Amino acid sequence: MTFALEGKLAGPWVKELELCWRSAASTQRIYPVRVDLSSVTFIDAEGKELLGRMYEEGAKLVATGCLNKCIVEGIMQSEEKKVKG
């Protein structure tokens, strides 16, 4: 299952993505979830936190553009540090 996001992942859109993700996960159990950030122009702190939780639970984050790639790499590095302890 792919969530193709566009525009800003900020404010109420973070909660909307979380609701859609949780709903899909509870009804379909289709994994891995893929989050396509190619058309996202801005990600706020809450959006980054949600992407981190999604990544923790097995979601694949796909990004283009320097900023979004940097955000995704930061999330992945943060998770690696948690695993290494």
Neighbours of 26 (CB within 10 A): 8
| Tally of domains within the chain | 1
Quote the domain boundaries for residue 33: 2-84
Is the pLDDT reported for residue 27 higher than 90?
A: no
What is the per-residue pLDDT across 33-84, written as a single tens digit (0 to 9) for each?
899 999 999 999 999 999 999 999 889 999 999 999 999 999 999 877 776 7
Residues 6 or more apart whose CB falls under 8 angstroms from that of 48 comprise 71, 74, 75
Whole-structure pTM over 0.95, yes or no?
no
What CATH number should be reported for the domain holding residue 17?
3.30.750.24
Residues 6 or more apart whose CB falls under 8 angstroms from that of 2 comprise 33, 34, 35, 36
Secondary structure E strands in the chain: 2-9, 34-43, 60-62
